[in-house]
Structure 1
């Protein structure tokens, strides 16, 4: 039996830090199994966090410089993680990178953090840039984690990730489909930060606010929600469609309204597909107020797993995608992204 050991690196749109997950993977009777050995979230230094947050506004030269600088940073942090935890026999590092642009309709997506710089620092094979090939094949370049949902978490009717955006994957007629449902932490965190908090812990700020019915109706009637899948969201979409609606409304009321909006959009999907049980992961799972709202709007059983899976499922799946890529096996599902066909994606350094 071949056992693979891999590190997955994941930086989400909410920029709360770099998720690092070291796990081993093996096959039993053609089914993939995994064990998380060590996982951590490393908060970004304030300067780097600001650089990444504002990267969308940089000149081409400064963006290329940040691409290299962030790659070396990822390499250094990964080296520190390996030494601190005395890890050995690592087959590969799989790095998602930090998304700056995501415009699949124009055939491009950009995740910075040069994989070659990580390779130079760690002396370990690195697989990076998992999304571009899918976009070139006519896909959304997202979501990518459904391959892991399919092969590592098939016990659930659906897998929901509550991160910067909420996305879901599930099977219809033997095909796994996936799509972004609605923005979540990308909006809630920004509103909380304007009130001096990093995020809305437990949804306590939203709980104090009042729902603005007019804004809620505007949000729920946005065109994206009536589009059929596959579909995905990016920060550009929020800048264009969400934030301009917020002027003149108190932040706590915005938090209350947007939390209600996210809960309505998520529970609507659960109810349409009549799921029995759904696995919840991602930082938004700790938002008790949001979770209660979703529970109150659906009969679906919400499964909240151990902290390791909540926090590191995406990093774990990118490590797994790296192993599939190393073996030239399918790691992106066309049924999830809308590309021309299933494929094995990622550049190997």
Structure 2
């Protein structure tokens, strides 16, 4: 069946839309990417979303944004439908504006009823609350998809998605789903983007070129806990703007140092926190393939820092094994939606800490 996956991540910069042909379910599921598009948010809308994420607006504004984003997600889906014809299903992650896993609270907005009405297509949305209801973190949810797409019969693999937050899925050679573990490692692009915007007036550090001109010599080498207790917590764990948003980034904006050095510093923090987390918790040592997707896969400086931090690992962009790096999360929510319709549980208790596997999402019929 043809399924559209819609995703807007913690970077809050726009909507990724992936059209997939999906067949089978469970271990036999196969997914082919047919088309992919990115739809940037207008700056005014992005600012409104960021204010909502940073507790800068009231409930009425969140309700308005839920409607506005529903229209935006519907527009992204209809763009693909107009090009390729009717689809069978849409999976929409929505836009996270609050994620407090310790309190079992999460909120993704982008009204699914609007998407269903505008597209004439059934929609699966609101994937995270069921995992939280089962005692989990509500994140990460991509490990099931990583297991479907990336497990290997003889190789240990780590699937690393570097979005606003970085998350890692641990896939031992020939693993069953119950063997998969995953967690958020800390900031991915979130702090880098915030510093690029504050210090250089650009929305992100393209290819890591600005950070490459700096020196990441740090006063806290080996003491990441001084920055955030999150770095020394054991999995399962998940993070968001609550941990690494505007307040965290502001501490770096204010440093009396060369601006390129500051950007190099926060890029190193992302690389070092990823590497530390994998060393401490993957169980692989350095003998594994690290397969990277997400926007951070295109930051050459960040990738080189990862190579320096984990010299024994084979580091690949997911494109190199046939999975488009910038489309993977949108593909993931197409797959998760398909499995929900098939009645297949897709949270991974070893990743989220949930008491049991559960069928995720809410279905809105067209």
Q: TM-score, normalised by structure 2?
A: 0.88
Contact residue 194 and residue 246 of structure 2 kept, 8 A: no
For residue 306 of structure 1, give the secondary structure of its aligned residue in structure 2. Answer: helix
Seen in structure 2, the aligned counterparts of structure 1 residues 241 and 15 have a Cα distance that, compared at 3 Å, is: closer
Note the C-alpha offset of 1:138: 1.4
Q: For 1:262-297, what per-residue CA distance to the aligned partner results, in whole angstroms no more than 9, with x for missing partners?
A: 222222344452242121101101111111111122
Contact residue 19 and residue 315 of structure 1 kept, 8 A: yes
Aligned to 1:313: 328
Note the C-alpha offset of 1:86: 2.7
Aligned to 2:211: 206
Seen in structure 2, the aligned counterparts of structure 1 residues 171 and 29 have a Cα distance that, compared at 3 Å, is: closer
For residue 310 of structure 1, give the secondary structure of its aligned residue in structure 2. Answer: coil
Q: For 1:9-56, what per-residue CA distance to the aligned partner results, in whole angstroms no more than 9, with x for missing partners?
A: 000111232100000112399522211001111111222222212123
For residue 307 of structure 2, give the secondary structure of its aligned residue in structure 1. Answer: helix
Aligned to 1:282: 294
Q: Which runs of 5+ in 1 are unaligned?
A: none
Q: For 1:188-208, what per-residue CA distance to the aligned partner results, in whole angstroms no more than 9, with x for missing partners?
A: 011111211121112111122
- Output the CA distance in 1 between the equivalents of 2:129 and 2:27: 29
Select between 40-49 and 298-307 the one with higher mean Cα deviation: 298-307
- TM superposition outliers: structure 1 runs of 4+ over 6 Å: none
- Output the CA distance in 2 between the equivalents of 1:28 and 1:162: 27
Quick one: which of 103, 108, 119 aligns to 2:105? 108
- Note the 1:90-105 alignment, pairs <5 A: 90-105=87-102
- Output the CA distance in 1 between the equivalents of 2:249 and 2:351: 28
- Output the CA distance in 2 between the equivalents of 1:220 and 1:241: 16
Quick one: which of 269, 272, 283 aligns to 1:261? 269
- Output the CA distance in 1 between the equivalents of 2:265 and 2:225: 11
- Note the 1:1-349 alignment, pairs <5 A: 4-27=1-24, 30-56=27-53, 57-83=56-82, 85-88=83-86, 90-155=87-152, 157-171=157-171, 174=176, 175-194=179-198, 195-216=200-221, 219=224, 221=226, 222-239=228-245, 242-243=248-249, 245-246=251-252, 247-250=254-257, 251-272=259-280, 273-274=284-285, 275-298=287-310, 299-306=312-319, 309-349=324-364
Contact residue 15 and residue 76 of structure 2 kept, 8 A: no
Contact residue 169 and residue 182 of structure 2 kept, 8 A: yes
Q: Which runs of 5+ in 2 are unaligned?
A: none
Note the C-alpha offset of 1:8: 0.1
- Output the CA distance in 1 between the equivalents of 2:25 and 2:169: 24
Equivalenced residues, count: 344
Note the C-alpha offset of 1:135: 1.4
Select between 268-277 and 67-76 the one with higher mean Cα deviation: 268-277
- Output the CA distance in 2 between the equivalents of 1:52 and 1:133: 24
- Output the CA distance in 2 between the equivalents of 1:13 and 1:289: 21
For residue 169 of structure 2, give the secondary structure of its aligned residue in structure 1. Answer: strand
Select between 96-105 and 303-312 the one with higher mean Cα deviation: 303-312
Seen in structure 2, the aligned counterparts of structure 1 residues 189 and 53 have a Cα distance that, compared at 3 Å, is: same
For residue 214 of structure 1, give the secondary structure of its aligned residue in structure 2. Answer: coil
RMSD: 2.1
Select between 68-77 and 31-40 the one with higher mean Cα deviation: 68-77
Seen in structure 2, the aligned counterparts of structure 1 residues 18 and 244 have a Cα distance that, compared at 3 Å, is: closer
